[in-house]
Structure 1
Amino acid sequence: MPESVYIHIPFCEHICHYCDFTKFFYKESQADLYLEALKNEIVSNVPGSKQPVKTIYIGGGTPTVLTVEQLNTLMTLIHDKFDVQGCREFTIEANPGDIDVDKIQLLRDFGVNRVSLGVQVLDDDMLVQLGRAHRVSDVYTTVNRLQQHGLNNISIDLIYALPHQTPEHFQKTVNEAVAFNLPHYSTYALQIEPKTVFYQRHQKGQLHRPPEEAEVAMYDILKSTMTKNGLHQYEISNFAKPGFESQHNLMYWNNAYYYGFGAGAHGYLPGRRIGNLKPLPAYIKQANADGHPVLRTESIGLKEEVEEEFFLGLRKMEGVNKNRFKERFGFSHKQLYATPIEVLKQKGWLQEDEEWIRLTEEGVLFGNSVFAHFLLEESDIKHVR
């Protein structure tokens, strides 16, 4: 059975210039229709009530753009279908400045115990360039408001390698971010994605990206500053105080099964990966028709599961557990990967001990090249069956 649940709320007050997630401008009447369709999808796919799960994550979009009444509708649905009381981690994403006291109290009453804030950068001018609606002062107000009402498990998202950003500028943002003394930080280098404002500017030569060496310098700043402030790197892009690692994200990196509900959401069930319809009218129509608003289903065989065990596992600083691999698949990793592992160790990109295989510091910088070594042919898998 799936261990976790992801629920996508695709509405935003503003569309950021870099964002390629499934999102639409918020309209209250449209959100009402969406929540009804979402209910039909969840009820059609989750048998019974109070199903046990380890984590629940509500992402977007901006889930907290919903009204208090709409959030109440959503939370009631989640409580009916899943055992929230037995859930380890219940996260909702929010933007600084858009979550008031009434919403915070409602979320707490329904068992939400973690909030992920989309801060991105602590510089007002750069926030404007990104198309963000909030300002730095909103970050302080929102963090304080959450803490005052008992929601202390807060994560901040940061983006680096932004247009015109220098390592010195990024150092200032990281210093200010860690001064909040929060338990978790997620950090990502800017990616230029199709169908975004930044992509259009990039195509026209109007987007100034920092050079690669500046991006590497920013990543080094990130790691050293987090370490100095008691935050350990447990995944390529994530840092936490001990015990505050994101349990939901670890579920992804541990290659576990999960439900994905909502427009554009993805789920991973035994033998298949499911991607939902993205256009809002199409999603609502199909979810109301039969509860299965699926765009595509991808078969996941042994080959794909083994590959993903390494792709995802090597994102974690602890790496891939050899014993867990053998327990899951019934054969040793050496039967498939002895040669590539030795090659990568010689390059200085992998290290190995009795229990784990993990990236070196240099290997993290060449992650995509490392992962390519773990692609398989179907004929490789036949030899281990």
Structure 2
Amino acid sequence: MNLLNALLHILVDNALHFFLYFSKLNKKIFIFNSTGNNNFNFNSRFLYEYMTEIQDDEIQCYFVVNDNFKRKSLLESGVKNIISGKNIKNKVLILSAKTWICSTIETPLTSVFKKKNRIVYHLGHGVPLKNIGMAENKIPLLKRINRYSKLRVFTHVTCYSDFFQDVLYRAFNKNNKISYMKLGQPRNDSILWGGEREKKIIERLCLDVVSESQFISAKKILYCPTWRNYATTRFFPFHDFDASTLNDYLEKNNVFIFTREHPYYKFHLPAGIEHVRRIIPLNSNILSDITPHLSFFDLLLTDYSSIFIDFLVTGKSVIFIPYDLECYDNMVGFSKPYSQIAVGNYVNSFSDFLTCISDNSFESYSLEYLNKFNIKSTGNCLEHYNNIKRLVNLA
């Protein structure tokens, strides 16, 4: 039934797009969306919040969230103009907009037609550490066709910096008609100013384990490995791992480790972790977007996740656990040589792991290194806002 319903909406979307193909687009309407047209997250969320809060009378912003529960929750929390793309009225509204602003390669509506004068603006959802889009290794034929059909509609793509322009060019099928924009990530404006509500959620999880004074003084480590489409991702992937030793270390040194799984892939935690009370799951069902709260943590652990690039804004240390580096490079591939991008301590054993998380010394990242990723904590939303208004001739 869900498949039939999805197919029906695709047919309706295409029919409406066909009938409205020659209609004039409204340059004052901006339609935002994010993952699956069901989530209010990633860069689209933060640019949307910025563009609605500045109260620009020349523009009208709408964000597509088809999930009824999430949409209702957002509206009740005070977020304005969250709409469903499932009814005819809103479909017409979406198709009338000159500008669509997306975090992923999914657009607000699915159509085989490409409106000539529409701006389809890609913000991305992270600086690409790995090969993405059409640049990914070993893409199955059906997935390749699907990606091509989605990527072809984009007109403007955020490539972040000179260093990553060729990466996005390859990801978007080497399309020379696209304008590649060396602008920052809107969500990075939020990293040093995380919301208090979400911090309270984390605090409550920890106060079930320790006192408030212990929590305040504790070292807080975020552990975010990335997805694997060829295997289950492993937390603490060390041959000499011992849960009892880790538990004793965390208790003795007043340390918390917050584990965060990718929501769409399988993960494995080693035996005994369930008895380590200072290992706190912090998955997307608890915090839908971790980015605004990165400054809350003292240290980041990852393997190949681009979250570490966002974490660089905090000026704090990153530790890498690239336990299957050769295999990952072969199966997925990196946008640039891993050693050029992932600068920091590499950990390959449990004993090294304990040593690294104990080390409080940290040498700051060089300005040259940070400039590769266009790392800045302010002004990212403003530069996109100004750019979009210029593109639609409202500046």
TM-score by length of 2: 0.30
Greater strand fraction, Structure 1 or Structure 2: 1
TM-score by length of 1: 0.31
